[in-house]
Structure 1
Amino acid sequence: MWPAEHARWAPVSGRQPEEPVRLPVNRQTWQHLTFLHYRYPVAQVQRLVPDGLSVQEWGGTAWVGITPFLMRDVSVPSLPPPPGWGAFAELNVRTYVQGPEGRDGLWFLGMVVPRLTFVVALRSLGLPYARAAGQVDVHGARWGYWFHTPQDRLPSGDDAGRPDPARHTSPWFEARVDVRTPVATAERTLELDSITGRWAAYHQRAGILWRTPVRHEVWPLHHAEATGKLTAPLRWVGLPPPTEPPMVHSSPGVATRLGMPRPATARRV
């Protein structure tokens, strides 16, 4: 039973995938990922999500996560990755919601990648991607991430072939992460499993709220420590600076299968 003091709803998120994805429409590998989780008042986060989604709360507050990682091998089944999509850095800002049909999921507040073609393709699905130069560096147990200022306006005409103007400025987000010991089974609380084990993402396109299922193996989580310029993505999506340091975990990664998006409609009573 989900403790009432931690969440408003019974969980369908958790350590294990909640539903199969038998016919994936997309495959992706997420490597060298770090979860930076910050607490916020629920009302501050709720105003950033669309109607139909309710921000979930734990102990009267909501979690907002920043997740930098290395995206690899994006492909449609049986087809090779599009040119330039073999490996690139990505950073997401996400929160945790319940949809109108009563199921848990993610809502992305902002997403950053350096690949313009990827931005254009995923924006067409209603995902809030912006373009920015970024990089992931891995040296044993020391992982580094940096991203420059996102360019929310897509380049057109003569601008389309020009380098990202933010590439030569100081980093917008810069993190140095020291990966520690694995998180033991006894340490994997319901709360931690719920905010890392999310098996669907909501997105909005053409005025319709969609839900895309995802399946992968259980997250292999490690304790971690992070330093650097960590909070600019929170201000970018419309949140004030956090009042507490983040809860940090890292993972070597997972291979994922994404299912067909479906409209998220209210459950009939």
Structure 2
Amino acid sequence: MEPEPITATPPPLRGRAVLRQSWRDLTFLHWRVEADVVAPLLPPGTRPDVNDGTSWVGLVPFRMVDAGAARGPGIPWLGTFPETNVRLYSVDEQGRRAVVFLTLEAARLPFVLGSRAALALPYTWARMRVTELGDVVTYSSRRRWPGPRDATTRVVVRPGEPLAPGDALADFLTARWALHTRAFGRTLHLPNAHEPWPLRTAELLELDDHLLAACGLPGVATRPPDSVLFSRGVRTTFDSPVDARAPRPGTGGATGA
């Protein structure tokens, strides 16, 4: 099935909201990668999403703030910590676009263990820090568990001017309203929704990354990224997961690749 259109605003959530969290002070570093390179890293029933002839891999450091259940307040300490993810871009058999996380480095061990148990998400425990001095933001991470211990990253950026709405590549890379994950013998589609990203340009001042190589993508981070963006962030809500084979609403139950 053809991929669904890319929109800067999410479709309405249709299930029961299960989780809310804020993502703050994010940097989006992205590299072009050939689709056949990343295809083996995606869960069954999904394929690489392609823009302008290639797929993409993202390195995204940020601060998680007040993560918690959909009902009730966020958890100030347990739900607030630095995080860095490495992500790919996927389409399932129903044409639903999403991201696939190869790793989610996080500084709270209880959150890591809970997320791995609940949805088999590839969270890892890391020693991390996010600092801002003047107009420069610095992110650093070193994995603690499970290994390898040399899975590290350091990113230094200077955020720039606001990015005008309607940038097709920025929308492809950031307006992703779900994730795909493999859990309990099934590929799941987990929708989310939030306000449109307030994106800004950014200048990459320093990059020393070994996470992409640890995720099976050696050599990618040795070249400059093809896109660098920054955002002060959004507040997001996650819907209940569904089987990735389930038809999209309004498709009449049709299936196919």
Q: Tell me which interval the TM-score lies in, with the shorter structure as reference length.
A: 0.7 to 0.9
Q: Which residue in 2 is equivalent to 1:134?
A: 128
Please give the secondary structure, in 2, of the residue aligned with 1:132.
strand
Query: Is the contact made by 2:160 and 2:200 (CA closer than 8 Å) also made in structure 1?
Result: yes
Change (3 A) 1:35 1:178: same
Normalising by structure 1, report the TM-score. 0.84
Q: Distance in 1 between matches of 2:174 and 2:208?
A: 19
What is the CA deviation profile of residues 239-258 of structure 1, one whole-angstrom value per residue up to 9, with x for unaligned ones? 12126411100000000111
Unpaired runs of at least 5, structure 1: 1-7, 154-164
Q: Distance in 2 between matches of 1:11 and 1:138?
A: 38
| Deviation of the 1:266 alpha carbon | 5.4
| Deviation of the 1:56 alpha carbon | 1.2
Q: Which residue in 2 is equivalent to 1:56?
A: 49
Query: Is the contact made by 1:13 and 1:105 (CA closer than 8 Å) also made in structure 2?
Result: no
Which residue of the other structure, out of 231, 245, 253, is the alignment partner of 2:224?
A: 245
Q: Which residue in 2 is equivalent to 1:201?
A: 179
Paired amino acid for 2:18: V
Number of residue-to-residue matches in the alignment: 246
Which residue of the other structure, out of 88, 93, 96, is the alignment partner of 1:100?
A: 93
* Higher percent of residues as strand: 2
Q: Distance in 2 between matches of 1:109 and 1:235?
A: 11
Query: Is the contact made by 1:89 and 1:113 (CA closer than 8 Å) also made in structure 2?
Result: yes
Please give the secondary structure, in 2, of the residue aligned with 1:149.
strand
| Deviation of the 1:126 alpha carbon | 1.5
Normalising by structure 2, report the TM-score. 0.88
Change (3 A) 1:141 1:14: farther
| Deviation of the 1:71 alpha carbon | 0.2
Q: Which residue in 2 is equivalent to 1:259?
A: 239
Q: Which residue in 2 is equivalent to 1:78?
A: 71
Query: Is the contact made by 1:28 and 1:255 (CA closer than 8 Å) also made in structure 2?
Result: yes
What is the CA deviation profile of residues 218-256 of structure 1, one whole-angstrom value per residue up to 9, with x for unaligned ones? 000000012323431110100121264111000000001
Q: Distance in 1 between matches of 2:109 and 2:144?
A: 12
Q: Distance in 2 between matches of 1:261 and 1:22?
A: 8
Q: Distance in 1 between matches of 2:77 and 2:113?
A: 13
Change (3 A) 1:9 1:240: farther
Say which is worse superposed, 204-213 or 21-30, in terms of deviation: 21-30
Structure 2 counterparts to residues 174-189 of structure 1, below 5 A: 174-185=154-165, 188-189=166-167
Please give the secondary structure, in 1, of the residue aligned with 2:173.
helix
Structure 2 counterparts to residues 3-42 of structure 1, below 5 A: 9-20=2-13, 23-42=16-35
Q: Does 1:148 align with 2:142?
A: yes
Q: Which residue in 2 is equivalent to 1:229?
A: 207
Q: Distance in 1 between matches of 2:211 and 2:6?
A: 25
Which residue of the other structure, out of 187, 209, 214, is the alignment partner of 2:192?
A: 214
Aligned-residue sequence identity (percent) comes to 34
| Deviation of the 1:265 alpha carbon | 0.9
Please give the secondary structure, in 1, of the residue aligned with 2:103.
strand
CA RMSD of aligned residues (A): 2.3
